């Protein structure tokens, strides 16, 4: 086997556990996506370190420590840097992709920090620019 310093789309997808469509239609459309280092077959080839840097800076979410017993609104979660916009939390709640609130006093949805930290450990998402 030849040790290549570059990666092509199928290798990137395999290495990071995503689909080829995610690489080409989401990641590669990001303004910070690295320039190709060459071409291999029908695919553009990218420096492996450039791809690793991109994933670290724009894909991987950093774990946010929240106070486990404190209640947070969607906006407070966004402000705390969980990596998801308040509007996305509200939309995901309506689509049953976010847990029901732990508290709804005065009609305000709030979640315990522990609830959010638990759901975030299983959630995979991509940070594009300033979006979460």
Cα 124 to Cα 76: distance, rounded to the nearest angstrom? 20
User: What distance in Å separates the CA atoms of residue 106 and residue 49, rounded to the nearest whole number?
Assistant: 50
pLDDT digit string, tens, across residues 55-103 = 888 887 667 789 999 999 999 999 998 888 999 999 999 999 899 999 9
pLDDT at 62: 67
> Mean pLDDT for the chain?
86
- Whole-number Å distance between alpha carbons of 119 and 75: 17
SS3 98: coil
Higher pLDDT, 130 or 91: 91
**To 5 degrees, how large is the angle CA 83–CA 106–CA 79?**
20
If pLDDT is split at 50, 70 and 90, which confidence band does 124 have? low
Residue 47 in this model has a pLDDT that exceeds 70:
yes
98 is written with which tokens? Answer: 């976010």
Predicted confidence (pLDDT) per residue in 87-97, tens digit:
999 999 999 98
This prediction's pTM: 0.55
């Amino acid at each position: 086997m030849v040790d290549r310093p570059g990666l092509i789309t199928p290798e990137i997808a395999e290495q990071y556990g995503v689909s080829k469509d995610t690489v080409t239609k989401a990641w590669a459309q990001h303004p910070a996506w690295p320039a190709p280092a060459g071409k291999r077959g029908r695919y553009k080839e990218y420096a492996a370190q450039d791809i690793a840097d991109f994933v670290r800076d724009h894909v991987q979410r950093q774990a946010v420590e929240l106070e486990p017993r404190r209640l947070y609104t969607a906006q407070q979660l966004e402000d705390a840097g969980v990596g998801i916009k308040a509007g996305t939390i509200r939309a995901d709640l309506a689509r049953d992709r976010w847990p029901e609130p732990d508290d709804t006093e005065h009609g305000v949805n709030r979640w315990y920090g522990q609830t959010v930290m638990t759901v975030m450990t299983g959630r995979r998402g991509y940070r594009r620019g300033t979006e979460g």
